[in-house]
Amino acid sequence: MNGILTTDLKKFLVFKLGDEEYGIDIQKIATIIEKDMSVTRVPGTPVFLKGVINLRGEIVPIIHLHTRFGLSGNEDTEKTRIVIVRFDEIIVGIIVDSIAEVIELNGESIENVTNFSGVFSAEYLYGVGKIEGRIITLLNLEKLVSLSENIG
């Protein structure tokens, strides 16, 4: 036994944007829906805010992560999904290219990103997860959404 307590394990939903893998804390996920829902554009909102959907009577803003991160190649496919996340009374959807898997990481598998300089702000990042030779960028949803609080 390597001495790591099971309480140290955190589960992350891994999804893809282009060829890159990203993860979000599974405890913040409300549901995952197919991208065939009608998204209504709201005038005067930032370009990364795709619009809003009516999800079981609740109006949910939808963020297009490709646009939010300034990535190219954001064509929807049959694998495109909207991940509905909920935290601190906030509910928001994020459009992702595809869902990959759910992984468990312990504290030793997550690196801090204080020295990270990438295509988007390190403020959006929770850390970088290392699993089976892969590197998964772990997103800080609260920062990602709070930096876009002007969405209405």
Give the separation between CA 78 and CA 127, rounded to whole angstroms: 29
Residue 70 lies in a domain: yes
Position 124 scores a pLDDT of 76
- Give the H/E segment covering residue 67: helix 65-69
Evaluate whether residue 119 is within a structural domain: yes
pLDDT of residue 151: 41
86 occurs within a structural domain: yes
Amino acid making up residue 5? L
In a domain, 64, yes or no: yes
The CATH number of whichever domain residue 89 belongs to comes to 2.40.50.180
Look at residue 1 and tell me if it is in a domain.
no
CA nearest to 79, candidates 12, 20, 34, 39: 34
Pairing of strands 29-34, 20-25: unpaired
Q: Which of 89, 77, 42 is nearest to 63 (CA)?
A: 42
How far is residue 76's CA from residue 42's CA, in Å, rounded to a whole number? 20
| pLDDT of the residue at 118 | 54
In total, how many domains does the chain have?
1
Q: How far is CA 131 from CA 78, 100, 109, in A?
A: 27, 14, 7
142's enclosing H/E stretch is helix 141-146
Closest C-alpha among 101, 139, 116, 129 to residue 148: 139
Q: What is the pLDDT along the chain (152 residues), one digit of tens a residue?
A: 343 333 478 999 999 998 899 999 999 999 999 877 789 999 998 888 899 999 999 999 999 888 888 787 668 888 999 999 998 888 999 999 999 999 999 888 888 776 555 545 667 788 889 888 899 999 988 877 764 544 44
pLDDT value, residue 146:
62
Single pTM value for the model: 0.83
Domain span holding position 100: 6-151
